[in-house]
Amino acid sequence: MAERADLRREAGQRTRGGLLTATLELLARKGPEGLSLREVTEKAGANVAAVSYHFGSLKALRDAAVETALERYLDAQLEALARLTPDSTLTELAVGFARPMMQALAAGGTELAIIRTVARIGIDPPAGWGRLTGKFEQTRTDALRVLTARLPGIDEQELIFRTRCIAGLLNWLALAPIGAELAAEPAERIEHRLVPILAGALAGQAAPV
Amino acid sequence: MAERADLRREAGQRTRGGLLTATLELLARKGPEGLSLREVTEKAGANVAAVSYHFGSLKALRDAAVETALERYLDAQLEALARLTPDSTLTELAVGFARPMMQALAAGGTELAIIRTVARIGIDPPAGWGRLTGKFEQTRTDALRVLTARLPGIDEQELIFRTRCIAGLLNWLALAPIGAELAAEPAERIEHRLVPILAGALAGQAAPV
DNA sequence: AAAGAAGTAAAACAACTGTTTGATTTTATG
DNA sequence: CATAAAATCAAACAGTTGTTTTACTTCTTT
């Protein structure tokens, strides 16, 4: 029977998925280097051989988990940026960048694990971003459309740099203790505090006040 | 003879110091978790037992290296902030924060290793900052003096948060590839690009433009 | 010159790492 | 029901980890 075959496959995919989520959480906590085979399998309730069986190696499992995390985050990011129009403000752009990160920070659990992993690989990026390069660059062009309209006269290269700066700041908040402190507050208040900072960084401040 | 005794001690302190700087560079490259005993000793040209002999354990060596790095960086930071006066501008404050990090980024070598280590422990801070807590808080009060004067009407708690944000951004630049790209440019140009971003983040931008 | 402290060095230690093997169980299909 | 594929499991693999032990050299002091 075909349905029973699917059930069997589901059972197989269950330990496979368990390994992925366990890896995700450990990645977020200890980073790519600190990932241990026994830790992963114990957390997932699976045998050590399951990693070789389902993924081939621990490194392959790690890469798969990282790619999963990055794609989920990029999708959330692109969705938030899709609301931008040609005459969106810098503040709205900042919201588009901050919201996915902040929501995950407030949610905790797997969501938090994902953005932490994304932030970690922002420090030590894997050799090839593979098929996610497109989505990644898409976020940049989305941002650039608003920035060139709101900040004419500033070099496009410079605008890209500022975009990467605020992304870096958000990544830092995902990893460092200050982000955890921030996450204790209600989500809307987080955004209210953070967005002016991001928008200010994007706009820059040339003259001394 | 006393001079000969000193020479002997110098020989002892030489391998001790070699272990420290080797640890520093490896910490900067692989982080606190990725530190390996054999790697350290080979890089320092010392025997594995030297670590136990001089520091007691690898963890103790790591802590000693971290403390050394943090103190050197805090001293540089405090020196830069000491130039601030009651009527310094936000830009000058941003310079005070950015300059030590940027100079080290451009210098490379041990200087770079130090700020990378400092940035890493910003993510995973050791349990007790120990005797460095004072210097650490000093940087915050130095910044606060300028901020409260230039940005009246903003909550002091919020100003501290913004200070930590720009420090986080600088830490991110020390670790992530974007920082390495930035470091390829001449030092004065780096500052010229970075300071407006930091000052803008400190000032914030409340209303949509 | 003898005794002793300070530092170095090679080897062995148990505990861990990721991976593989072979047997066993579970499930789907004939 | 029988057969074969899919999945799980305990056990063992070789390699690495940090630490300790022991012997040895080097230098200082008496």
Task: Using pLDDT thresholds of 50, 70 and 90, give the confidence band for residue B8.
Answer: very low
> Is the minimum CB–CB distance between B150 and chain A shorter than 8 Å?
yes
Task: Using pLDDT thresholds of 50, 70 and 90, give the confidence band for residue A127.
Answer: confident
Nucleotide D24 C1' to residue B49 CA (A): 14
> CB neighbours of B43 closer than 8 A, spacing ≥ 6?
B22, B25, B26
Q: What is the pLDDT of residues A69-102, one digit of tens each?
A: 999 999 999 999 999 998 999 999 999 999 999 9
**Using the CB atom, is residue B50 less than 7 Å from strand C?**
yes
How many pairs of residues across A and B have Cβ atoms under 8 Å apart?
Answer: 111
Q: What is the pLDDT of residues B57-78, one digit of tens each?
A: 999 999 999 999 999 999 999 9
Q: Report chain D positions within 7 A of protein CB atoms.
A: 6-12, 16-22, 27-29
How would you label B26-58 residue by residue, b for 16+ Cβ within 10 Å and e otherwise?
Answer: bbbebbbeebeeeebbebbebeeebbeebbeeb
Q: Is the pLDDT of residue B4 over 70?
A: no
Task: Indicate the pTM of the whole model.
Answer: 0.91
Helix pair B156-175, B187-203: axis angle to 10 deg: 150
Statement: B2-203 belongs to CATH 1.10.357.10: yes
Out of A74-83, B5-14, B177-186, least confident range = B5-14
Q: Is the pLDDT of residue A197 over 80?
A: yes
Which single residue has its CA nearest the C1' atom of nucleotide C20?
A49
Q: What is the mean pLDDT of residues B42-49?
A: 96
Domain locations in chain A as residue ranges: 2-203
